[in-house]
Amino acid sequence: MDFAEVMPLFRRLALEAGDRIMRVYQGPDFEVRAKGDASPVTEADEAADAVISAGLRAAFPDVPLITEEQAESHAQSASTFFIVDPLDGTKEFIQRRGDFTVNIAYVQDGIPTLGVVYAPAKGRLFYTLPTGQSVEETGPFGTEPGALSALTVATPDNAALMVVASKSHRDQATDDYISRYGVRDMTSAGSSLKFCLVATGEADLYPRLGRTMEWDTAAGDAVLRGAGGQVVRFDDHTPLTYGKPGWDNPFFIAFAPGVVLK
């Protein structure tokens, strides 16, 4: 796998998918349907999925592709593959709150090594370089990359942590867990943006005590790892891995090294 070939493709497909999503987002009312697991899906999810899937399959036909919108047709596990959530944060999209993202990642031997997270409504684009270093690109986004800022996690103060939590899936268990820490301030964000806020140093800690799927987290996980951060299982603090049967994640914690986990 030539990473120098993969990342420009990831970037281009994320931007194209974001354009398709924004056409729906900025247009008149759109239909919302329920999938088999009762989660919502819109024409924007499906249009973005079509763009990304076609691009990846044309360029890398031999690499397995896992996407949220085609999950029922996938194999039950793998170790090396592309994984895509074409519109993470559909609930935020439906409510027109802006906290939704396009997510594309490459998982190698269970580890998300490359990823792009694009928040089209917020104009924020995060991705890993072929070297593995994560960057944020400053828009407007054209054919060629614009100005890049290398991402590095913050050095945390355990007596005054900045915590980010889910906007749509916050619950008492999460609040109880956060209360174990010395917290300076908290913020809420939707979708995989939470990983990116830790990667940029805008937050130190992101706990998730709720159900997620691998396509929800892989790209954000890759971006955070490329900024020096970590993502571990909640139960035993071992690294979160990918390619698990059924693609379900356990509860997890994303954080900047130096945070003393409770």
Condensed to tens digits (0 to 9), the pLDDT of residues 8-64 reads 999 999 999 999 999 999 988 777 776 656 566 788 989 999 999 999 999 999 999
State whether 9 and 69 are in the same domain.
yes
Q: Poorest-confidence range of 163-167, 179-183, 200-204, 225-229? A: 163-167
State whether 101 and 67 are in the same domain.
yes
The structure's pTM equals: 0.94
pLDDT at position 27, please?
84
* Rounded average pLDDT over 97-117: 96
From residue 212, give the alpha-carbon distance in Å to each of 54, 131, 191: 25, 28, 11
> How many structural domains compose the chain?
2
Q: Poorest-confidence range of 40-44, 115-119, 163-167? A: 40-44
Domain around 224: 161-255
Q: Is the pLDDT of residue 167 over 80?
A: no
Residue 33, class by beta-carbon neighbours within 10 Å (0-12 exposed, 13-18 middle, 19+ buried)?
A: exposed
State whether 119 and 247 are in the same domain.
no
Pairing type for strands 205-208 and 252-255 reads antiparallel
| CATH number, residue 124 | 3.30.540.10
> Among residues 106, 126, 150, which one ends one of the domains?
150
* Rounded average pLDDT over 136-157: 96
- Indicate the pLDDT class of residue 95, thresholds 50, 70 and 90: confident
State whether 141 and 173 are in the same domain.
no
> Among residues 98, 115, 150, which one ends one of the domains?
150
State whether 16 and 99 are in the same domain.
yes
Residue 240 lies in a domain: yes
Residue 156 lies in a domain: no
- The listed range with the strongest mean pLDDT (32-36, 74-78, 86-90) is 86-90
> Among residues 150, 179, 205, which one ends one of the domains?
150
Q: Poorest-confidence range of 93-102, 104-113, 148-157, 246-255? A: 93-102
State whether 179 and 130 are in the same domain.
no
CA distance between the termini of the chain: 38
Tokens for 116?
Answer: 């792009």
pLDDT at position 75, please?
64
CA distance 18 to 87: 9
| CATH number, residue 174 | 3.40.190.80
Q: Do 25 and 47 meet the contact criterion of CB atoms below 8 Å apart?
A: no
pLDDT tens, position by position, 242-253: 999 889 999 999
The DSSP H or E segment spanning 254 is strand 252-255
Residue 14 lies in a domain: yes
State whether 122 and 34 are in the same domain.
yes
